[in-house]
Structure 1
Amino acid sequence: MSANLKGAMVDLIDVFHKYSGKEGDKYTLTKLELKNLLKNELGEFLEGPNDACVVEKIMRELDDNKDGVVDFQEFVGLVAALTVACNEFFKILARKSTGSKK
């Protein structure tokens, strides 16, 4: 494992715990904690992190076990999906800049 990937994993864990536990269980994110994380950490990737409806929708989609909070595994799903979307976006941009159709 490269130092960069290992560092990214540590950063992911650190970011989760920076927001978790302020309102309850330190191993989960409440809706308010999730909202703060989305706004502060992913605001430029997500439209409307301040919009209660957007946060509610993301919370519903992430909360696989329907316990009303987002645990680390559920959070990683969001990060993975956003990473895939960003990768696809950059692949499309690269194709456009080179004129390639692949």
Structure 2
Amino acid sequence: MTKLEDHLEGIINIFHQYSVRVGHFDTLNKRELKQLITKELPKTLQNTKDQPTIDKIFQDLDADKDGAVSFEEFVVLVSRVLKTAHIDIHKE
């Protein structure tokens, strides 16, 4: 497996580490998303312990408004984080 493939698999595994806890095994509820963000992106996303911030992120990601974040919706967060990280790398 290439380094990129390994990282892609890692993103999938992290998602599933949190999504299998409650409810549907392939979606995140708000609590699961908060746990994932707080534990996996503590230096990347600010104010993650602030519930209104989590509520806003969840609302933005839940495109179909079904009360859960699917993997496809989660990828939007990953994409945003990657874009920001890419910009930040070039600032250094």
TM range (shorter): over 0.9
Unaligned 5+ residue runs, structure 1? 94-102
Q: TM-score, normalised by structure 2?
A: 0.96
Please identify runs of 4+ aligned residues in structure 1 that moved more than 6 A. Answer: none
Aligned residues with identical type, % of pairs: 35
Deviation at 1:22, TM superposition (A): 1.1
Question: Match for 2:44: what amino acid?
Answer: F
After TM superposition, list the pairs within 5 Å mapping 1:61-80 onto structure 2: 61-80=60-79
Aligned to 2:6: 7
Question: Match for 1:42: what amino acid?
Answer: L
Matched pairs, number: 92
- Secondary structure of 2:64's aligned partner: coil
Matches of 1:90 and 1:21 in 2, distance apart? 33
Deviation at 1:21, TM superposition (A): 2.4
Q: TM-score, normalised by structure 1?
A: 0.87
In terms of Rg, which structure is larger? 1
Please give the per-residue CA displacement for 1:33-79, whole angstroms capped at 9, x wherever unaligned.
00000000001111111111010000000011111110001101101
Question: Match for 2:78: what amino acid?
Answer: V
Aligned to 1:98: none
Aligned to 2:51: 52
Question: Aligned-pair RMSD on alpha carbons?
Answer: 1.0
